């Protein structure tokens, strides 16, 4: 069986800046070997869904703005940097960057957490379209959507980590 510290080292960042999810999954005996993306994802999502509302909100708030200040400053996690670059968010025109900044600000003002979307397979136009559509959602629907996106991001990261 994988040791606790090794499991947390490998999977503690799958949910952005939220190692408590990997810690609890391990401590609750939800981790089974062989480690597969599907199995680890199920364990981590079970913990995420069982977490308190404030903890889930903390996970949402741990995500960076898309094409935001952290990206400009180069302070994203390596996973976030690669994901945003893969969607072309590191190559925005000045006007596109201004639109992302405006939408990020309005979204955070409305919902209290950054816009979250699994960008894998999307380009900047797809992301902007989703951004414009989802900013119109009611708060409870958008929080549920953001949580689903967090789980999807975790799945993509796990598949990369476990080469599946």
| Catalytically active residues, by annotation | 63
Q: Distance of alpha carbon 160 from its chain centroid, rounded?
A: 14
Burial 92-108 (b: 16+ CB within 10 A, else e): beeebbebbbebbeebe
Q: Distance of alpha carbon 37 from its chain centroid, rounded?
A: 16
The three-state secondary structure class of 163 is coil
CA-CA distance, 119 to 23, in Å (whole number)?
26
* Burial class (CB within 10 angstroms; exposed 0-12, middle 13-18, buried 19+) of 127: buried
Token pair belonging to 96: 């596109």
């Amino acid at each position: 069986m994988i040791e606790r510290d090794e499991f947390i080292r490998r999977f503690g960042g799958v949910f952005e800046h939220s190692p408590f999810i990997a810690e609890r999954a391990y401590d609750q005996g939800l981790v089974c070997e062989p480690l597969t993306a599907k199995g680890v994802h199920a364990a981590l999502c079970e913990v995420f869904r069982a977490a308190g509302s404030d903890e889930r909100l903390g996970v949402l708030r741990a995500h960076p703005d898309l094409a935001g200040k952290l990206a400009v400053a180069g302070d994203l996690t390596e996973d976030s940097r690669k994901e945003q670059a893969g969607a072309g968010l590191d190559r925005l025109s000045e006007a596109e960057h201004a639109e992302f900044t405006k939408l990020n600000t309005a979204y955070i003002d409305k919902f209290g957490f950054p816009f979250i979307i699994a960008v894998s397979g999307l380009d900047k136009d797809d992301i902007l379209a989703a951004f414009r559509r989802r900013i119109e959602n009611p708060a409870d629907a958008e929080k549920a959507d953001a949580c689903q996106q967090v789980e999807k991001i975790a799945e993509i990261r796990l598949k990369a980590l476990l080469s599946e």
